[in-house]
Structure 1
């Protein structure tokens, strides 16, 4: 074992305490793969994209709601803690749950990339792994840097078995259980 592997890992309970304090400082923390991740607060364009996805989902699936910034327990043993840009679930799914909710009723998570140096590892590597391990049926990644929508679906054995990429401007059909179609032309307006 290397010295890094020998280091003690943070407990989920320790993370929850630190994350609560960080929220007061306008910093969002996540805990994936036993590592503390810093997530920048959303910029205005990220907020517009989440608003737009919410609008599309509500219009096409009024039985569901896209909860922004909902804390979820993720990964194989629910020791990870992620705060997706949006979490699609049936109305009332998180009633009575604390800041970090069980992901059992989640149908889709949505992330919008940031323009920071950690977005590749966080949004393109760690999040698909964590959401796949959790069994979340669909992970929608809106990748502003690459100008594409990436749809991860059909989790099997802890990984999403299908990954579909679509450039902004294309029609994207989100698979069941989501069943929403996105006309992605507007996404071009919210990228640099």
Structure 2
């Protein structure tokens, strides 16, 4: 188990080509995203802003997660209202965050998802490029999300309250393989 203080010191000096996370006391290294990954995140950001102009999808924002907030994660996208992170340091509290978004080639890391749920983040969106699916998780409790709905790329993806938008995902067929 790595102490949070040691992790934060390491993360400060880590080169920009590497993204580190502390999930359930374990050091995790995220791969550098490719072009399709970036296009998907920008597409989600544009969809959110077009439908809810007061929202922004912040890229790789450092979050304190878990029930004790001793975890550190950098989701591909963090959805919040404009100005939410003003004045924050590299690691923000999960309060007033509406949704996390990750683009992954396969299933979500269970420890990371549990950390988001324990932190009380209302929604979790995973875009699985390999299977061409969207997983929308909602209703967090202290250990997990109590509801999950799966969609295929090309379907309309309904993001429930507090986001309350629908993603028309037809365009993403170009970026999932």
Tell me if 1:12 matches 2:8: no
**Residue 35 of structure 1 corresponds to which residue in structure 2?**
26
TM-score (norm 2): 0.96
Tell me if 1:169 matches 2:154: yes
The separation in 1 between residues aligned to 2:95 and 2:116, in whole angstroms, is: 11
After superposition, the C-alpha distances for 1:106-145 in whole angstroms (9 at most, x for unaligned) are 000000004xxxx54xx34222211111110000000011
SS across alignment from 2:97? coil
**Structure 2: which 5+ runs fail to align?**
none
TM-score (norm 1): 0.88
- Rg bigger for which structure? 1
**Residue 141 of structure 1 corresponds to which residue in structure 2?**
126
**Structure 1: which 5+ runs fail to align?**
1-8
**Residue 166 of structure 2 corresponds to which residue in structure 1?**
181
Mapping of residues 121-160 of structure 1, within 5 Å: 123-160=108-145
Q: CA deviation at 1:181?
A: 0.4
Q: CA deviation at 1:45?
A: 0.7
Alignment coverage as a number of residue pairs = 177
Q: Which has the higher helix share?
A: 1
The separation in 2 between residues aligned to 1:145 and 1:125, in whole angstroms, is: 18
* Aligned-pair Cα RMSD in Å: 1.2
Q: CA deviation at 1:25?
A: 4.8
